[in-house]
Structure 1
């Protein structure tokens, strides 16, 4: 393993173990050169790896500081249980409440838009067709952790005025869809890990190139129709994904 990777791993372990605590200043380049007996170039490469982990913020002229990030939150397949909607709780709020966290949702955009190619394919409509987009930024204990954009077919939403409001009411958009006769059979999620683009990192208060989870979910009704596609980006250090997988046919 390259020496710079070994050094980066050790710094990350120190952060995980609490040797370097939130708000602490990571030792300077000169201090790390002396400690590890390597060149400044090796230390700079090591710190680039540490920044990519999303665990530190680097401030020009001041150095790198350990981020004050909230504890990792589990994301369970149980978050879409019908009982949550009957209780008037949208999935994110129900999940945060169970974790004992303070949740906030900021609505960034609600309105008509043209369906991107991949979204249109999932919704079964023509690319460029008019759909309703709902874009949100989710916070946990005051920290942005997730962005999500829901795309819904126009013929499904045009007669549901609540879906055009910032707050669609108790239980969120899934409850309003079910109120209108669209009963859900399943939710299908596809996810992959990648590095955040600069704009994405800025929105989630991450370092450029930090790892994120890109998740796309399809909400499928009992008639087999996809009535929503949700395109979600999550800060990877904030989530553990937990799924219940039936072992029977």
Structure 2
């Protein structure tokens, strides 16, 4: 036991603070097992509900994760570094390699790919400048790295723009959708991304296999042609425990 917590005189916050200090100091390093409820009741002289509540505090903070049948462990953070300017620049896209290769070096496994033609949600129709009757091709998929789901993605394309192309197929071919847009005469040359964070919806939590207390990062990217025509909107839901987002800027226009 460390810190100011004393057996028989502690509450759940004291225990949580004590464990947090051990995690922050490295006494409990990433991947190490955290004392369980029974251990905490004995160590701190508290009842089991108090010990459980202390662990729940750290789970909700995202510091520890419970593994069914194994116990509770300090969260390991092995980030995918997502550098938007690098992954979207023309030289990277023109190489025929997926933009993912700038993040993880190899293409992740893509699962649950679906392609549908539907009327778009109103915000998507507005961004793509579509009229009320215009439909979109919607590509939905999940990305997995090292057998761990890390991202959900939904991309919208004006149907009239991509009809008959490989963008309407499960496999878009070498270079992906951006290469197909270029072949269609609608090469994306400018991008806009909006980011925010929130707690996951239940379906997102299940699809990404998120631990308790893990928020998601939402990235909405719009791709434009040289004449400012919007040709794609992509909504990405990222496991925040899997990513570091890096942006590079210069002081010149």
TM range (shorter): 0.7 to 0.9
Equivalent residue for 2:197, pick from 186, 189, 193 = 193
Residue 111 in structure 1 maps to residue 122 in structure 2: no
Question: CA RMSD of the aligned region, Å?
Answer: 2.7
Q: Could you say if the C-alpha distance between residues 18 and 230 of structure 1 is closer, same or farther in structure 2, counting changes exceeding 3 Å? A: farther
User: What is the rounded CA distance, in whole Å, between the counterparts of 2:133 and 2:55 in structure 1?
Assistant: 43
| Alignment check: 8 A CA contact 1:136 1:149 kept | yes
Given the two structures, how large is their TM-score scaled by the length of structure 1?
0.84
| Alignment check: 8 A CA contact 2:77 2:241 kept | no
User: What is the rounded CA distance, in whole Å, between the counterparts of 2:128 and 2:79 in structure 1?
Assistant: 32
Aligned twin of 1:57:
66
| Alignment check: 8 A CA contact 1:120 1:128 kept | no
Aligned twin of 1:73:
80
User: What is the rounded CA distance, in whole Å, between the counterparts of 1:120 and 1:8 in structure 2?
Assistant: 49
Aligned twin of 1:172:
176
User: What is the rounded CA distance, in whole Å, between the counterparts of 1:68 and 1:102 in structure 2?
Assistant: 25
By how many angstroms is 1:175 displaced? Answer: 1.0
Q: Could you say if the C-alpha distance between residues 167 and 21 of structure 1 is closer, same or farther in structure 2, counting changes exceeding 3 Å? A: same
User: What is the rounded CA distance, in whole Å, between the counterparts of 1:54 and 1:135 in structure 2?
Assistant: 31
Aligned partner of residue 169 in structure 1, secondary structure: coil
| Alignment check: 8 A CA contact 1:115 1:127 kept | no
Equivalent residue for 1:3, pick from 10, 14, 20 = 14
Residue 85 in structure 1 maps to residue 93 in structure 2: yes
Q: Could you say if the C-alpha distance between residues 117 and 65 of structure 1 is closer, same or farther in structure 2, counting changes exceeding 3 Å? A: same
Q: Could you say if the C-alpha distance between residues 153 and 12 of structure 1 is closer, same or farther in structure 2, counting changes exceeding 3 Å? A: farther
State the Cα deviation string for residues 108-146 of structure 1 (Å, max 9, x = none): 211212211222222122467421010111111221111
Which one has the largest radius of gyration? Answer: 2
Aligned partner of residue 124 in structure 1, secondary structure: coil
Aligned twin of 2:158:
153
Aligned partner of residue 34 in structure 2, secondary structure: coil
User: What is the rounded CA distance, in whole Å, between the counterparts of 2:215 and 2:91 in structure 1?
Assistant: 33
User: What is the rounded CA distance, in whole Å, between the counterparts of 2:126 and 2:30 in structure 1?
Assistant: 46
User: What is the rounded CA distance, in whole Å, between the counterparts of 1:192 and 1:80 in structure 2?
Assistant: 20
By how many angstroms is 1:39 displaced? Answer: 4.9
Given the two structures, how large is their TM-score scaled by the length of structure 2?
0.83
| Structure 2: 5+ residue stretches without partners | 1-12
| Alignment check: 8 A CA contact 1:54 1:206 kept | no
